[in-house]
């Protein structure tokens, strides 16, 4: 897998292998979505 982004330039993009990006940037990884009905107060579909 690869990740594409622009680094302070709008006319050029960089591409890195995802593993290389993770090794260099050490980002915090986590879920940004929840399954249906798993958030507090979400309606139950049972």
Distance in angstroms between the alpha carbons of the first and the last residue of the chain: 38
Would you state the pLDDT for residue 2? 96
Q: Which helix (H) or strand (E) segment is 19 a member of?
A: helix 18-25
Asked if residue 45 belongs to a domain, the reply is: no
If you search the block for the tokens 């982004």, which residue do you land on?
5
Would you state the pLDDT for residue 41? 65
Asked if residue 4 belongs to a domain, the reply is: yes
| b/e map 23-34, b = 16+ CB within 10 Å | eeeeeeeeeeee
Instruction: With 0.75 as the threshold, say if the pTM is over it.
Output: no
Residue 22: which domain range? 1-28
Nearest to 3 by CA among 42, 27, 26, 13: 13
In the predicted model, is pLDDT for residue 24 greater than 80? yes
DSSP state of 43: P
Domain count, the chain: 1
In the predicted model, is pLDDT for residue 18 greater than 90? yes
| Average pLDDT of the residues in 21-38 | 85
- Report the share of the chain in percent with pLDDT over 90: 48
């Amino acid at each position: 897998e690869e990740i594409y982004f622009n680094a302070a330039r709008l006319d050029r993009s960089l591409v890195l292998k995802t593993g290389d990006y993770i090794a260099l940037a050490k980002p915090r990884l986590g879920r940004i979505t929840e399954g249906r009905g798993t958030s507090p107060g979400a309606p139950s579909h049972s």
